[in-house]
A and B are shown apart, each in its own frame.
Chain A
């Protein structure tokens, strides 16, 4: 199929439909409204369900009910809305329901602003709601990758019977890039959804729940969940290295749109004879620990510089992985301000000169 120019929000919506997810529940919030607007037209065409709920609290719980049918369901929102869904996300993780959630992140905390940010990394990767659970977290950096990862997200949600979250900053939602949808979509076969509630016709009643009052049963469920997360760590790690070379002294670590900005900085520095590489996690959970450790501890690397549109969240994972083998520095902007390639270049030059990044002047 030919490439078409699409806004990130619309491309993601179409990708979901192509992956057979035609059941959508959501509540309006900027900067991801185009998803719902697109699907309100598109889903009736394919016999799907589109429902604008009364709140994000209701959305999360509608997803719980809808996912219990065994059909593919999803929602999209932005930071404050995702916070309101945390209750249901925890319940769905506990009840092992496959569901896909997209967070087009905006600046926080609180109502914050509506401009791009990456300040929900902790919320997405470290839990968000209560209890011992994880989401599988995917972070696209281009619209094409957003399409590919959205389609993959539904497969992974079903494969692991676990909520999957796609995190994109506001730019992933708002910008337009050429995208290509596969002519026909196929995915590896998955076992039948024998856990779904379909009516106790000729079988015992099926209960979809996260309640385990017996501590032994609850611990068993937690161990089962933990084993799934370990399996994700073995099978689902995704990352990209950009211009990592033996002469580099600095390794940048960034994800999403921030990684693209780092690429521009790297290309420009290359013109000045300064060689820098980039490590870009595509899965934020599972975090590409082994791969990052291998890159960061190569003998030529002197400093690891993490760059985010936050006050420093993923950097804690980077520090954990690099574990004092190399100094880990951080540079970030927040509130909807996006670090420019020039700022990234300045940080790199500063580190090369003095070993320290400069402070942000506001």
Chain B
């Protein structure tokens, strides 16, 4: 008889708890990718996470690392303060699109521009999730949200903000990549990007940010399956995947 072996387990970096995320939401996948990377790099015990305000506000209950719970949008400022005093630790912020690209725009730009040596996981699902589906700075043109019920009118609200493109305009070296997690091959690529981002931090090279296109079936009003296709057909075409900047200069 063939002996049974364990081939898939919960990473050390995650706690053994049930999350509050909605069915079909990809926060769970992204959490897991980060946790796996922390495990593989062997840094979990010296890692600090900074949770945002938004759906992932309770991330500190799910990760098995020390955590700070930040005011809305200010995670990069908290991370700056912490990392400057503890450069020996590994620090990451985990932020949504409202948190990072709206109220926290100033903090993320200045942290990136100072080249703070922490990693940001930027989860972009083009909507405010926790507050109930309002328009986000990354909501697509024509996309319906509770505060743009006729669809986003870009004549009045501007075009959705592309954070990787915007940040890549800074001269300070950084690692910026946009990935997605709606299909298995994308998940594999996303993990590679997250690992690379933490690797740059471990080497004390530069600020690193991985933008992850995510889903929000609840507020998009779609099934989980429809949502993955909506990422493929709509989000991905406005927010092209790829490496936007590396500290080495080449993309």
State whether these chains interact. yes
Contact surface of A with B, Cβ cutoff 8 Å: 23, 25, 49, 51, 53-55, 57-69, 71, 73, 87-88, 91, 95, 197-202, 205-211
Assembly CA distance A43 to B68 (angstroms): 26
A62 and B71: CB pair below 8 A?
no
Assembly CA distance A224 to B68 (angstroms): 20
Say how far A205's CB is from chain B's closest CB, in angstroms: 5
Assembly CA distance A49 to B80 (angstroms): 11
Which of B41-49, B119-127, B137-145, B219-227 binds A?
B41-49
> Closest residue to B72 on the A side, CB-wise?
A87
Assembly CA distance A200 to B46 (angstroms): 7
> Closest residue to A25 on the B side, CB-wise?
B81
Cβ contacts under 8 Å, A63 to chain B: 81
Say how far B71's CB is from chain A's closest CB, in angstroms: 5
B74 and A61: CB pair below 8 A?
yes
User: Which residue of A54, A65, A88 contacts B106 across the interface (Cβ within 8 Å)?
Assistant: A54
A205 and B110: CB pair below 8 A?
no
A73 and B60: CB pair below 8 A?
no
Q: Name the 3 nearest CB pairs between A and B, nearest first.
A: A65-B81, A65-B78, A66-B81
Assembly CA distance A210 to B53 (angstroms): 12
Contact surface of B with A, Cβ cutoff 8 Å: 15, 44-48, 50-51, 57, 60, 63-71, 74, 77-86, 89, 106-107, 109-110
A-B contact pairs, 19 of them (CB 8 A): A60-B77, A61-B70, A61-B74, A61-B107, A62-B84, A64-B81, A65-B79, A65-B80, A66-B81, A68-B48, A68-B82, A88-B74, A198-B86, A199-B65, A201-B46, A202-B45, A205-B15, A205-B65, A208-B68
User: Which residue of A51, A53, A198, A205 contacts B60 across the interface (Cβ within 8 Å)?
Assistant: A205
B84 and A200: CB pair below 8 A?
no
A197 and B74: CB pair below 8 A?
no
> Closest residue to A49 on the B side, CB-wise?
B84
Assembly CA distance A71 to B88 (angstroms): 14
Cβ contacts under 8 Å, A55 to chain B: 106
Cβ contacts under 8 Å, A205 to chain B: 15, 60, 63-67
> Closest residue to B63 on the A side, CB-wise?
A205
> Closest residue to B75 on the A side, CB-wise?
A61
B81 and A73: CB pair below 8 A?
yes
Cβ contacts under 8 Å, B70 to chain A: 61, 64
> Closest residue to B88 on the A side, CB-wise?
A199
Assembly CA distance A124 to B93 (angstroms): 31
B78 and A197: CB pair below 8 A?
no
B85 and A58: CB pair below 8 A?
no
* Given A53-B110, A197-B48, A201-B45; A62-B68 close (CB under 8 Å): no
Cβ contacts under 8 Å, A200 to chain B: 44-45, 47, 64-66
B78 and A64: CB pair below 8 A?
yes
Say how far B37's CB is from chain A's closest CB, in angstroms: 16
Assembly CA distance A207 to B85 (angstroms): 18
Cβ contacts under 8 Å, B45 to chain A: 199-202
> Closest residue to B46 on the A side, CB-wise?
A199
Assembly CA distance A68 to B110 (angstroms): 21
Assembly CA distance A197 to B15 (angstroms): 17
Cβ contacts under 8 Å, B79 to chain A: 65
B110 and A58: CB pair below 8 A?
yes
* Given A54-B106, A58-B110, A209-B60; A64-B84 close (CB under 8 Å): no
A211 and B65: CB pair below 8 A?
no
* Given A54-B107, A199-B47, A200-B44; A61-B84 close (CB under 8 Å): no
